[in-house]
Amino acid sequence: MSDSSFDVVIIGGGPGGYVAAIRAAQLGLKTACIEKRGSLGGTCLNVGCIPSKALLAASHHYHAASHDLGAFGIKVSKVEIDVAGMMGHKDKVVSDNTKGIEFLFKKNKVTYIIGAGAITAPGQIEVTAKDGAKSTVAAKHIVIATGSEVTPLPGVEIDEEVIISSTGALALPKTPKHIVVIGGGVIGLELGTVWGRLGAKVTVVEFLDRILPFNDGEVSKTMQRLLAKQGMEFKLGTKVTAITRKGKTATITVEPAAGGAAEKIEADCVLVAIGRRPFTEGLGLDKVGVAIDKRGFVTIDGHFRTNVPGIYAIGDVVGGAMLAHKAEEEGVALAEILAGQHGHVNYEAIPAVVYTWPEVASVGKTEEQLKAEGIAYKAGKFPFTANGRARSMNEVDGFVKILACATTDKVLGAHIVGPNAGDLIAEVVLAMEFGAASEDIARTCHAHPGLGEAVKEACLAVDGRPLHT
C-alpha cells in the first residue's frame, strides 16, 4: 500500500467525519480525512454548535449581571457589553477546539489531507488543494461526510452583513437595533436569544402556527410564552414575500400564510434560519452514480452503504436529525462496521437540545406523535416551581414531562423545559437505551437538592404518586 492508499478515506472533517476517522484508526484501519475548510470540526466546531454556545454563554452572563443578580443580593453598578471581547472569547473557543481535533488526528495516526475531495471512481478520490494543485488518493472504503449548508430563501440574497445566515449572526460587529429572524426553529431561537439579551429587538417570523414545530406541542407553547416574557416578538402563521436591502437596513414584506393583507417590517438585520440542506457540490456523485433523494440527501441502507459498493455516507448529508451527536454516532458505527464489528445507532434515543434559557431538551416521541401512531401512553409532569434546587437558583420556569407506554410502562419520550435541561435529558436517554420503565427512574435514588429530582418526580407522576406536588 503506497502512502496515498488507505483502508478508509473520509471526505469531510465535521463531527461525522472526524469521529469516524478517529474510531477507524483506533481499530487499526489506515485512515485519512479530507477537509477543504482549512480547519477540522466542520460546521459544528467552526460555525455551528460551539461558537453559538460560546455566544450564548457570554450573553447569558451579561444578561444575568444586568438583570438577575439583584435577586441574590448582589449589587452590580455598571455592566457593559464589549461585543469585540465576546467575539474574542468565541474565536478562542473555536480555535482551541479545532486545533484539539488536529491533535487527536496526530495521536490516533489519522492522515489529515487539506483540500476538496471529489470521487472520480469507486476507490479513487481526487483532491484539489487551495492553490489548485491536484493529487489522487486511493481507498478501499470511501465515506461521504460532507454535511449541510444553509437553506436559502428563494429570491433573497444573503450578504452576511444586513441579510445574514447563522454564520453572519455568529460574527456581527455590533448589536443590531432590530433583528428579524425568519424561522422559529432552533437556530432562530438560539441566535435570536443571543442578540436579544444584548439589547436588540427580536421579531421571529414563522411560517407555521407554532415555534419549534418538531418539539412536543406543550413545549412549543411554553417556550413561546417564556421567550415573549424575555421580549421576543412572534409573527406566527406568517410568510415572507420579499426582503429588500437599502444601505444598512432592510424591509421585510410579510403576509399571513393563509393569505391576507401584507405588512412591511423595517430592520437593520435579517437572519434567515429556515433549515439546512445536504451539501454534495463538487463531490462527483453523478459521475460515479451515487443515488441521492429528491431533497438531495445521499441515500443509504441500514449499514450506511450507498448504492455504489465501497462508498458510504453519514451525518447531515444523509438526513434524519441534523445534529452533531447523531453524526458522531453514525461515524463510530460505520467505522466499527468497516472493521468487521457490529456498529449500530439507536435512532429512538437521540436527544435534541435547544440552548435558549430555559433550555429545551427532548428525546423519543412527542404526545402528538404517540396520538398519531395510536400508541396508548401515560404522561407524568413535574414543574420546576416544586423543585428545591431550582427555587434556590431562582430558575423555576418549566417542567419535566415523561411519556410512558400505557401497558408496559416503558419510557417512550421525555420533554424538559428548564434550567440545564440539556444535561438532565441524559438520564432519560440512558433509561431509554436500556429499555427502562418510568418506574425504574422513579425508584432510582436522586441526590437532593438536585434538578434531577424533577425527572424522578415526573416519573412518579406517571403513576399518579408524585411526592412534592
* Residue list 262-291, contact with ligand NAD (CB under 6 A): 273-276
* Least gap, CB of 238 to ligand FAD (angstroms): 23
* Contact call for residue 166 and ligand FAD (CB under 6 A): yes
Nearer to ligand NAD, 218 or 439 (CB): 218
Cβ nearer to ligand NAD, comparing 128 with 151: 151
13 binds, among ligand FAD, ligand NAD, none (CB under 5 to 8 A by kind): ligand FAD
Residues 265, 268, 272: CA angle, nearest 5 degrees? 75
320: which 3 cell numbers?
434524519
Annotated binding residue at 161? no
Q: According to the annotation, is 53 in a ligand binding site?
A: yes
**Residue 415 interacts with ligand NAD (CB under 6 A)?**
no
Residue 297 is placed in which grid cell? 440527501
Tell me if 200 contacts ligand NAD by CB under 6 A: no
Site string for ligand NAD, 229-258 (x = CB under 6 A): ----------xx------------------
List, by residue number, the catalytic residues: 448
For 210-241, b/e burial (b = at least 16 CB within 10 A) is bbbeebbebbbebbbebbeeeebbbbbebbbe
Q: DSSP assignment of 364-391, as one string?
A: E--HHHHHHTT--EEEEEEEGGG-HHHH
The separation between the first and the last C-alpha atoms of the chain, rounded to the nearest angstrom, is 67
Which residue in this structure is represented by grid cell 440539556? Answer: 422
Contacts to ligand FAD from residues 246-305, by CB under 6 A = 279, 282-283
Q: Which is nearer to ligand NAD, 188 or 452 (CB)?
A: 188
Sign, Cα dihedral of 38, 39, 42, 43:
negative
SS3 462: helix
Q: How far apart are alpha carbons 62 and 82 in whole angstroms?
A: 10
Q: Is 358 in the site for ligand FAD (CB under 6 A)?
A: no
User: How far apart are the C-alpha atoms of 201 and 425, rounded to whole Å?
Assistant: 31
Per partner kind, with CB cut-offs from 5 to 8 A, the member of ligand NAD, ligand FAD, none near residue 354 is ligand NAD
What phi and psi, each to the nearest 5 degrees, are found at residue 254? -125, 155
Query: Which among 291-299, 322-330, 358-366, 445-453 is the span making contact with ligand FAD, rule CB under 6 A?
Result: 322-330
Binding residues are 53, 117, 146-148, 183-190, 206, 275, 316, 322-325
Residues that bind ligand FAD (CB under 6 A): 11-17, 34-37, 42-44, 48-49, 52, 116-117, 145-148, 166, 187, 279, 282-283, 315-317, 322-325, 327
